[in-house]
Structure 1
């Protein structure tokens, strides 16, 4: 489990470096230097190894965690015992925001997919900043709204689209997000399948079908060259 420590953790020892970390976090981008310094004094940075669980279902999460480097997977276990990936978070993203509203028990898990540098803030501190710095509250609300929209799209796609459409929509979205047609899957194909509500075998068959059609070319386990983006849009 993730137990934040003091400012002597590897990767962010100097005050100046901590201030730099905070300044690069999107939710703090509208603050001036003095405000950044104030938040940096409360930040608890930690280098978290790969495959470490930050918290699990049933835990009470006392921290807002902000990812500086690395990747974190957020998932839940369904009633049938299967893992369902909810989202994958990267640099600049945060998690643990639900407890800002009221103390609550988590209904999901968070685990690092890579080594990650994660800065933690006590919820009491971040609540104070939200009250005093409206730009932080506004940016956080915008992020949460975007997450809600993404979750609704995911649920709608799983409920209403066939497997081929889900895979095609995912690839198109990835290409548009990265602004290029040669993309690397940010998570394993098993996790992509979980995110899309598919079995790994079904995902593999649909990707193979797209490749046979000349729409994509797979390189290794994660690299995919999208050769016909418009064809994928029409699936």
Structure 2
């Protein structure tokens, strides 16, 4: 059995026979860091991460990358293209050495007809991605990086249901995600820590005073 079908939530609820049928359609390979796996020029296909990390980003008209998300094991990309929804200037690239699986558009469409329950799970995951993009647009709509980062950390706290959260990407990637520089993110984190609003160890952040943090402006 391919390692991809074993880890991706999209397929986990299927029985062994159904997953074996998917394995027969799946192509697994290892890729090096920096490999572009999906772009406007590539054929439509579903791309599943088994090991390693990928990043999906959009290129602006001046060629600057805007990070959309970081994918790890069990995540997947390319579903929009499978449904004939254009994603202009969107690319998926390996952040590390990674193991990925691909399923062609034709095979995936046949799969949806044979396993209709996957459609509902796919819709749920697409909705989650849309909500994440809307949230990112909300961050970028604020001129102050201080407010962007503060709201991002508070949103992580809300999603986790606890005060201590782990930032799910490298700080440089978070800077790209929030449309700023790593230096600005670092300064903002230090200011929040100095004001006793957070405590940080590596990528683990503890929110010490959420109410004051939300109202804090400088």
Instruction: Judge same fold: TM > 0.5, yes or no.
Output: yes
Q: 1:70 to 1:129 in 2, by over 3 A?
A: same
Aligned residue number for residue 8 of structure 1: none
Distance in 2 between residues matched to 1:179 and 1:114, nearest whole Å: 30
Q: 1:80 to 1:98 in 2, by over 3 A?
A: same
8 Å CA contact retained: 1:30, 1:135: no
Aligned residue number for residue 165 of structure 1: 147
Q: 1:174 to 1:229 in 2, by over 3 A?
A: same
Paired positions, count: 216
Distance in 2 between residues matched to 1:178 and 1:185, nearest whole Å: 11
Taking only aligned residues, the RMSD between alpha carbons, in angstroms, comes to 2.5
**Structure 2, unaligned runs of 5 or more:** none
**Structure 1, unaligned runs of 5 or more:** 1-14
1:124-139 aligned at under 5 Å gives the runs: 124-139=106-121
1:125 shift after superposition: 0.9
1:145-224 aligned at under 5 Å gives the runs: 145-160=127-142, 162-177=144-159, 181-220=163-202, 222-224=203-205
TM-score, normalised to structure 2, is 0.85
Distance in 1 between residues matched to 2:147 and 2:163, nearest whole Å: 18
1:164 shift after superposition: 1.8
**Which residue of the other structure, out of 53, 71, 79, is the alignment partner of 1:97?**
79
**Which residue of the other structure, out of 59, 64, 68, is the alignment partner of 2:50?**
68
8 Å CA contact retained: 2:4, 2:74: no
Aligned residue number for residue 30 of structure 2: 47
TM-score, normalised to structure 1, is 0.80
Distance in 2 between residues matched to 1:48 and 1:121, nearest whole Å: 16
Aligned residue number for residue 62 of structure 2: 80
| 2:7 maps to 1:24 | yes
